[in-house]
Structure 1
Amino acid sequence: MKRMLLLLLLFAAKTLCAQQPYKFFPLFLDKGLSDARVNAIAQDHLGFMWFASANGLNRYDGYSIKTYYADVKNNGLSTNHTTALFSDSKGDFWVGTANGLVRYNFAKEKFERFGEKEAINTAFVNCITEDSSGNIYAGTNEGLFWWNRNKKEWKNMSAQLGKAERLVTIRGLLFFDKKTLFATTEGKGFYKIDISKPAYRTIDYHTKFRDTCCLFTIGMQKMDDSTMLIGTLSLGLSKFNVNRDQYIPTEGPLTLNDSILFNTTYQVIKDHSGRFWAASYYFRLAEYFPATNTAIPIPQEPFNPYGFSGNAATTLFEDRQHNIWIGTPKQGVFRFNPSQNGVRFYSSTPVNKEGLQPGNVMSLARLGNSLLMVGSDVGPNFYNKAQNRFINYRGIAKEFGNLPLEQVQCGIMDREGMVWMGTNRLGLMRYDTLKKTFRTFGRLTPRDTLKDDGINHILEMEADSIMLIGWNRINTFNKKTFKHHSFRNDSLPLYKLKEVADVCYDQTRQFIWIATINGQLYQYYPANKKLLDRSALMTAGLSSAIINNIDVDGQNRLWLASSIGAVCIQEGQPPKFYTFSQSPGASKEIKNVVANGDDLWITNSRVLARLNSHTGKLFYLGEKDGFNNVQLFANSLMVSAWNTVLIGSSRGFYEIDAQIKEPSNGSSPAFLTQFKVYDRPLETGEAISTIQQLKLGYDQNFFSFDISAFDYSQGTDIEYAYKLEGFDNDWQYIGRNRSGSYTNIPGGHYKLLLKARNSNGEWNENGQSVKIFVAKPFWLTTWFRILTVLLLTAVIYLFYRTRVNHIKKEARLHSDYAIRLNDLENSALRTQMSPHFIFNSLNTINSFINRNDPARANQYISKFSKLIRLILDHSRQKKITLAEELEVLELYVQLERIRFDNKFDYNVDIDENISTDSTEIPPLIIQPFAENAILHGLLPLAEGGVLRVAIHKTAASILCIIEDNGIGRKQAGLNKPDYTAHRKSHGIDITLKRIELFNKEHSFEGRVAITDKLNPDGSPAGTKIEIPIALEESF
């Protein structure tokens, strides 16, 4: 039996050469799958993928999985064991379980069960389908049930047909036409049912293997109007002619095999292109070819990151993007797309001797028509395309003369068939393809050491020479004599070049392009060893470019891979620039560029793209092509002899069809998959992915959402953007992040717009749009404002009535207040005229008389009497003009100067913008402060006292400044006796109160400020008083 199984496996391996290089993407427990035992797969009308498993039901949006576990009270699911899935033509989604059939409510995200008395509620459901009228059929262990959509009732068709005991354990249902339903069972017969009558017929099997009526049959798939494919428990995959009841076994491994007890085929599907795929227990996934009636299994590749590593397959499903999903009994789910076969991956393997040995593929080189050098960090490898096998050599990290080296960075095959390979720090290596022998040259080579042994480029020249770039210096090496030339032993200008990045040969014009890292260009003619500086081609826009690699295309245009992108240089024309444009802020750097016809292949060591040199359009290879989460080695990029593009990676190397086609369906539209308010899912009346409007309360203005294009081919290559019209001015670009959020959105009407972009930069702006209404807080609504106005009116009226009553009461007290205020004014005025001042003034007059100085006595008496008269006149007025106030001040200061023998000087400065005759202030406001400054600040000085009075105008006030250069308040307080201090304090306090009352009466908040001035050494320098008075002018 083992021998037979081995022969079958060898047969499958040989026929595999005809298979296309598919890439499989797993979905396992680490991605959120609840159980690796997958029983069924389906896609609902919104685009979600569903996986029924032995422990939970899983819903997948391309990014995350939501699992439903049994919870009858909260979600309606009665068991974790889910067995069948079906999305009908009406948009309903059905889930079969080991304990009944349920229907999914998209709006509530819950499962709905049928009446308690319905037998379907407890049946073990294996399969589900529908007829042309939308009626549902469920194949269960208890029989065939059907649901009349119009009458909303379930019936047992097995009982209707009189086969309640026989038509049970149904494993498959297939409508061959509108009225003919085929049903497979677990050894209970194969049935052809006419649902229009209803009537049935049991089909017996007549084959070359056996005649039986009771074969265990499972999955079915219609091929044409007369034929179907049937999967069985032990006979594998078979064809069945429905007209002749003829049963024809297929060829290949999916047929009767005495060495395999149950060569089971669980399911067969026909994809959109007419290809047939079968899920097999022993042979995993297989493709069936009708022309040869043969099924060929897909190989199992556990070490290939894009291979199918599953041991068995139980269920298959094709989604809208034509991905085929494979459910396995132990290893979760796999996905692949048969139409995306333009990229093949050669994975390293530690077990297959004819496979690629493990290592980072750092370089690739063409060695003839069917041979390829694959250089890795562990050594050189050689791939024979015709034989599809590798010859691997394990390198060493020491130059040893005739052993292979590791760290292989470049290679070529010369005209004699010898392979030359450069290594990183280990020198040059020659491989004889006929003798299978190596020879190495490096810094330890006797007689002619090769010290520039970090070789990353090799170019064959005329005669017997090859050009090497080692440590960014040029060396030429003779293949016959093994002698080399460099700046160490040759003065040729070629060898003086430093920081050399790359070289390439212009076949048409017979010269070598040389580019340095810092942007210098040269042309070298090997025939006459002439070196020309062509750096003038590097225009101003290229002055800061760092060059990584170069290449020449068929039109003799020079292409640069640089820090500012891919640059095309053609003599007589300005340079053209091309950069990756996948996402804003991405690096512009291109690491390598390879020309192939009209196309240019460019890479930055993470992304690979094809550039059309005519249109400038870029075609990116992404996750769908296997380029996801992989490190590329840019220096390995090349075009093979069979016109494919190759590039090495950390896990093997890729082979890309140079004419690989771009996806024809463009970018998919974006839809909401979740909407949360304050991080809690929002309950709506319909599915969130189809909803067109949402109403949110004023306290629901903090919300977030998730987005998906439901494009499982593009996967993580898709980028998203969203915009809330009425709030955002621009689109919010979130790249591959698929979540958005808004906080504190004001009440109003908005529209949420979504769009998605595929890997080629094509935006689809026809995504879901949702009108969102956010209610305003009740205190901002119209009705609340009207109510507020009414309440405010009532309050104002009540206030008005209260105020009138209060005014009446105040009126009664006003006369008393006026009397008190008048008393205060008179008291203040009387206080200003100090008895000491009057007494001293009379003594001064007396002294003038005694000295027989009648002129000065008369002058003093005249000024003194005028001052007394003005003070008495002002005591009867509430306001006087500024001119009158200044007249009082002038008289007082002159009298004091006469008294004290002109011991101090004074000056008064009036702002020219002030009209002193029309500006009104309370009487005797300035004089008390001037008196205080003279008596207590200036008189104690020996000499040099100055009193300054300045009056300035502001917008709403006048500012009076009284300033002296006296001894300061602190010293004055120590000098004057208690009675003088008490008198001053009382007079000044009353004046301050009068100023405060005047300003308050005129709604002015200014206050008097007193500042003690200081000299630089900290000693007193006098006092400054600032009196702001409300501006009042009379006209």
Structure 2
Amino acid sequence: MKWILICLMLMVSNKLAAQPSYQFFPLFLDKGLSDARVNAIAQDQLGFMWFASANGLNRYDGYSIKTYFADAENNGLTSNNSTALFSDSRGGFWVGTSRGLVRFNFAKERFERFAAKEPINTAYVNCLAEDSAGNIYAGTNEGLFWWNRVKDEWKNMSAQLGQAQRFVTIRGLLFFDKNTLYATTENKGFYKINIANTSYSTIRYKTIYSDTCCLFTIGMQKMDDSTMLIGTLSVGLTKFNVRTNQFTLTEGPLKRNDSILFNTTYQILKTHSGRFFTANYYFRVAEYFPRTNTAVPVPKDPFNPYGFPGNAATSLFEDRQHTIWVGTPKQGVFRFNPQLSGVGFYSSNPLNAGALQPGHVMSLAKMGDNQLMVGTDIGPSIYNRRTRSFTNYSGIAKEFGSFPLEQVQCGMMDREGILWMGTNRLGLMRYDTSLRQFKTFSRLTKGDSLKDDGITQILEMEGDSIMLIGWNRINTFNKKTFKHHSYRKDSFALYDIKNIADVCYDKTRRFIWIACSNGELYKYFPAGRKLLNASNVLTEIDSSILVNNIDVDQKNRLWLGSSIGAVCIDEGSPARVFNWTKPVNASLEIKNLVAQGENIWMTNSRVLVRLNTLTGKMFYLGEKLGLSNVQLFANSLMLSDWNTILIGGSRGFYEVDPNIGESGNAAPAFLTKFTVHDKTLETEDAISRVSHLSLDYDQNFFSFDFSAFDYAEGGDIEYAYKLEGFDNDWQYIGKNRSGSYTNIPGGNYTLRLKAKNNNGEWNENGQSVKLHVAKPFWLTNWFRLLSVLLLAAIIYLFYRTRVRHIRKEAKLHSDYAIRLNELENSALRTQMSPHFIFNSLNTINSFINRNDATKANQYISKFSRLIRLILDHSRQKKITLAEELEVVELYVQLERIRFDNKFAYQIEIDEAISTDTTEIPPLIIQPFVENAILHGLLPLQSGGLLRVILSRKANSILCVIEDNGIGRKQAALNKPGYTAHRKSHGIDITLKRIALFNKEHAFAEEVTITDKVNVDGSPAGTSVAIPIALEESF
């Protein structure tokens, strides 16, 4: 008995309707709104939406908001508190503020005031209206004023009527016909004004509650030729007969209610289709039904992702696309479209009796008899479509045998009227709808336990069995005996299939399709317990395919939701794959799909798409229908018994009319900004109305912004632009709304814009601008002629100057040649050190003194040969490499003789070098060899080695002179005044000669000197690398 009471307490049933509401889309401070206190809303002639707030005026293009603050000098706006907005029949846009009235100049992007003497410049403006002649009327705290369009002057109508003291704090104006203007005030009366003869009459408010002339009246709206609706403070909404002056109280929440002090209706809107909506302080937005004289407010539903969260609304406006905008006193702006009723939302709103219990809707299942199982993470609910109410069962996370469970992730009503529900790890639920009793089965069930209790799908089979998909394996469960079979008890191949994603019957119910997530596909024939592998159908498409679910359409074709899209398998025909045709803000993998007639509905948990299988066209349910930026639970997607599409979300579930109309073409795109060199281009008219633009030649770097002004579908629209005469193809830029061009040649072009809606339909009827870019003056004929004459004069002057320059250069070259010759001779003369000659003569003398005639003769022969070669080479600019190496070898041999063979030497030549044909400057190697011997090798006691290595490079020869001597640092210590980085005068000249030779051959590498070291860091000698440009003579 105790558990029965608990069960009854967990169950909530209510007779009140739980019905879907409109989708309200917010525009708040995070989107750029300057203030959440919105006083008025209007749309200008170009399509921009304007929001007047208590702190700043906001202009919106569907993507971003531009805010204007009071700045009389720069933008002309006189107050941050904007209070009234009005777009007149001539395209003018008026802004009322707490400090006067201004007009917006579209071309100059600023507000304009009237003459300083006009009282309208300082008045607190509450409302604006226009008569048939285009004259503007302004209701202010200081009275009623009107602007004569012809004379461009303001007049005080309150004074003209003789009621300057009573006609004040005017809150509403309404032209009922050509000459009749109604005005509402704050406790100063309700008036009917004849503007033709400048007369008025006072209307008394007579009802069963009161008879007064001074009611606080605000908004008005004409219903028909005899009736209007009037909004009041505290009294709510009333109906007024203009012929009898009788007031009729409205039924419903907007009726007079003395318990609500400020039951106020601020504004009344009549839509293009004749429906009436009111903005109310306590009852949000309400729809008024003339037939029953009743107002029904939209529900307050903060649990609906697009519900109306607050209590108060202060202003209403219907734009050109029939979207209704709602201004609030604290929550910014909302928009909704009452005609887009194809998508409804059933929210888990505890504020409304009979609503769905809170929780994520993870599954939905048919129950017949206009009922629906709604599986949530809290527990199951049953929706009765007749009573529009939910019966909620709060589940538990522990197996008690006869109580509902949490985490309901699938469901199925069998032929006997028993509802079976699978849960996540909590087992199987059986619900007897007639007895309203639960029974559960799980691994904890005594006796024959259900081991695979993480159940994702239930399929009723023939006879008394149902098929369960538990932990991606098949179980069969007997509905009568509660016995089950699985791979644990049965070796049949059916139970051995792993990674099962989904199962379904074909239309003939002869066999069951079994799809595995890894791409395996099977047919199971229950009658003969026959299992066939049909995986080859998928592997032929894509061997890496991942399958999420399957369904069979009315033509018995199998559809798979997969990682590569929607796959259609029609036996006997090739498989077809349908992919998303546009980017979406989620994975492109299809998580679930269901067949409905010729349509396939599919989702990836963020987007819902309808695929027409006949045309292949996809319809995306996006922002316009309230299915943007919401979390969907793909596993819950289903077709209801009443032929609607249902899918669960994080705060309830959505119901979609499968025949919901597509939105047709996108709205046309118009320019919103045109800049040249990052500066806004000034035009005579608003840039959105411009059809021709002329640019100077230096204004050919420009950019532009544009918009379709489709506020309902703005987030889904894509754009393209083309500059005809310059572009060959359209420039497709996705959801970006700006383009740019640089360095456009002078000429005539046409800038075209187009926009694409959510369904891929392009509207190419957007703004088209003829664009003329002037040619630069240097491309004109007169400039070309002048340029030719000037060029001829320049050429003549250049010729004369060049002749003089050549003559002067020839003289300088002659002087340079002489100096260079002197430099080379100086270098040659310094090649052989006087010390070397003196020491060589001493060596010869020592040989003679020792009577060693043989060595003396050898030395004299080599010495004389070296002197002769040096003298011969001094008269030549280039010698062969062979001749240079002969000088080097003779010098080294003489030095070895002189120093008793104290060191050895090697000359290594790359085989790729022809020494007889390669030419180099004379005596450029010997000075470095001399340095290596005297300063590197001679201080060694023994074992000195000198190497001269020549190797061939691509366009040069590299000569490396190496020694294993004491190194430059030690040489500096041995010889005072010598430093490691000091060059002799001869070496310095040689380096210059090498650089000069290389420069003449366009070769830029330089000589490098490297100090070699041993592993322990001690000196290991010096290496000199001399790169020489390659020059060969044949």
TM over 0.5: yes
For 1:660, the equivalent position in structure 2 comes to 660
Deviations 1:637-675 (A, max 9, x none): 111111111111110111111111111342553654798
For 2:10, the equivalent position in structure 1 comes to none
* Distance of 2:350 and 2:634 partners within structure 1: 25
SS of match in other structure, 1:664: coil
For 2:3, the equivalent position in structure 1 comes to none
Segment drifting more, 341-350 vs 292-301: 292-301
Q: Tell me the amino acid that sits aligned with residue 440 of structure 1.
A: T
* Distance of 1:987 and 1:715 partners within structure 2: 78
For 2:712, the equivalent position in structure 1 comes to 713
1:801/1:245 CA distance change after superposition, 3 Å: farther
For 2:438, the equivalent position in structure 1 comes to 438
SS of match in other structure, 1:443: coil
For 1:358, the equivalent position in structure 2 comes to 358
Say if 1:221 and 1:268, in contact at 8 Å, map to a contact too. yes
SS of match in other structure, 1:624: helix
For 2:404, the equivalent position in structure 1 comes to 404
Q: Tell me the amino acid that sits aligned with residue 402 of structure 1.
A: S
Task: Report sequence identity in percent.
Answer: 60
Segment drifting more, 42-51 vs 407-416: 42-51
1:918/1:61 CA distance change after superposition, 3 Å: closer
1:899/1:375 CA distance change after superposition, 3 Å: closer
SS of match in other structure, 1:542: coil
Q: Tell me the amino acid that sits aligned with residue 711 of structure 1.
A: D
For 1:466, the equivalent position in structure 2 comes to 466
Q: Tell me the amino acid that sits aligned with residue 533 of structure 2.
A: D
Correspondence 1:805-884 to 2 at 5 A: 822=825, 825-826=828-829, 828-829=831-832, 831=834, 834-841=837-844, 868-872=867-871
For 2:198, the equivalent position in structure 1 comes to 199
* Distance of 1:366 and 1:562 partners within structure 2: 25
Segment drifting more, 507-516 vs 653-662: 507-516
Correspondence 1:178-577 to 2 at 5 A: 178-186=178-186, 191=191, 193=193, 195=195, 197-202=196-201, 217-224=217-224, 228-232=228-232, 237=237, 244=243, 247=246, 249=248, 252-253=251-252, 257=256, 259=258, 264-281=264-281, 283-290=283-290, 295-329=295-329, 331-577=331-577
* Distance of 1:586 and 1:629 partners within structure 2: 10
* Distance of 1:328 and 1:978 partners within structure 2: 97
1:493 CA drift (Å): 2.1
* Distance of 1:421 and 1:534 partners within structure 2: 30
Structure 2 unmatched runs, 5+:
1-13, 777-782
* Distance of 1:900 and 1:868 partners within structure 2: 20
Q: Tell me the amino acid that sits aligned with residue 837 of structure 1.
A: S
1:511/1:993 CA distance change after superposition, 3 Å: same
1:597 CA drift (Å): 0.4
* Distance of 1:977 and 1:125 partners within structure 2: 102
* Distance of 2:422 and 2:992 partners within structure 1: 96
Correspondence 1:763-782 to 2 at 5 A: none
For 2:175, the equivalent position in structure 1 comes to 175
1:591 CA drift (Å): 0.9
SS of match in other structure, 1:990: helix
Of 971, 987, 990, 2:986 maps to 990
1:803/1:477 CA distance change after superposition, 3 Å: same
Q: Tell me the amino acid that sits aligned with residue 575 of structure 2.
A: P
Q: Tell me the amino acid that sits aligned with residue 831 of structure 1.
A: P
1:694/1:900 CA distance change after superposition, 3 Å: same
Say if 1:254 and 1:265, in contact at 8 Å, map to a contact too. no
Q: Tell me the amino acid that sits aligned with residue 996 of structure 1.
A: K
For 1:968, the equivalent position in structure 2 comes to 965
1:774/1:760 CA distance change after superposition, 3 Å: farther
SS of match in other structure, 2:645: strand
Say if 2:305 and 2:630, in contact at 8 Å, map to a contact too. no
Q: Tell me the amino acid that sits aligned with residue 268 of structure 2.
A: V
Deviations 1:475-531 (A, max 9, x none): 111111111111122222222222211111113252111111211111112222222
1:560 CA drift (Å): 0.9
* Distance of 1:674 and 1:765 partners within structure 2: 20
For 2:8, the equivalent position in structure 1 comes to none
The answer to whether structure 1 residue 1000 and structure 2 residue 1003 are counterparts is: no
Q: Tell me the amino acid that sits aligned with residue 469 of structure 1.
A: I
1:905/1:726 CA distance change after superposition, 3 Å: farther
* Distance of 1:528 and 1:865 partners within structure 2: 118
* Distance of 1:165 and 1:978 partners within structure 2: 116
1:1029/1:224 CA distance change after superposition, 3 Å: same
Q: Tell me the amino acid that sits aligned with residue 405 of structure 2.
A: L
1:614 CA drift (Å): 1.5
1:753/1:332 CA distance change after superposition, 3 Å: same
Correspondence 1:590-609 to 2 at 5 A: 590-609=590-609
* Distance of 1:928 and 1:262 partners within structure 2: 110
* Distance of 2:264 and 2:983 partners within structure 1: 117
Q: Tell me the amino acid that sits aligned with residue 968 of structure 1.
A: G
* Distance of 1:390 and 1:452 partners within structure 2: 30
1:96 CA drift (Å): 1.8
Segment drifting more, 65-74 vs 112-121: 65-74
Say if 1:718 and 1:757, in contact at 8 Å, map to a contact too. yes
SS of match in other structure, 2:159: helix
In angstroms, what is the RMSD of aligned CA positions? 5.4
* Distance of 1:850 and 1:29 partners within structure 2: 112
For 2:52, the equivalent position in structure 1 comes to 52
Say if 1:235 and 1:254, in contact at 8 Å, map to a contact too. no
Tell me the number of residue pairs that the alignment of Structure 1 and Structure 2 aligns: 995
Say if 1:426 and 1:442, in contact at 8 Å, map to a contact too. yes
1:358 CA drift (Å): 0.8
SS of match in other structure, 1:458: strand
SS of match in other structure, 1:968: coil
1:430/1:951 CA distance change after superposition, 3 Å: closer
Structure 1 unmatched runs, 5+:
1-12, 777-781
Say if 1:29 and 1:35, in contact at 8 Å, map to a contact too. yes
Deviations 1:359-396 (A, max 9, x none): 11111111013011111111111111011111111111
For 1:10, the equivalent position in structure 2 comes to none
Correspondence 1:867-946 to 2 at 5 A: 868-872=867-871, 916=916, 919=919, 921-922=921-922, 924-926=923-925
SS of match in other structure, 1:412: strand
Q: Tell me the amino acid that sits aligned with residue 355 of structure 1.
A: A
* Distance of 2:490 and 2:838 partners within structure 1: 117
Q: Tell me the amino acid that sits aligned with residue 148 of structure 1.
A: N
Say if 1:914 and 1:953, in contact at 8 Å, map to a contact too. no
Segment drifting more, 813-822 vs 57-66: 813-822
Q: Tell me the amino acid that sits aligned with residue 202 of structure 1.
A: S
TM, length-normalised to structure 1: 0.80
Q: Tell me the amino acid that sits aligned with residue 88 of structure 2.
A: D
Correspondence 1:88-103 to 2 at 5 A: 88-103=88-103
SS of match in other structure, 1:538: helix
* Distance of 1:972 and 1:52 partners within structure 2: 85
Q: Tell me the amino acid that sits aligned with residue 618 of structure 1.
A: M
1:741/1:542 CA distance change after superposition, 3 Å: same
Q: Tell me the amino acid that sits aligned with residue 591 of structure 2.
A: K
* Distance of 1:59 and 1:804 partners within structure 2: 74
TM, length-normalised to structure 2: 0.80
Correspondence 1:659-808 to 2 at 5 A: 659-666=659-666, 669=669, 672=672, 709-718=708-717, 757-762=756-761
* Distance of 1:199 and 1:572 partners within structure 2: 85
SS of match in other structure, 2:359: coil
1:577 CA drift (Å): 1.6
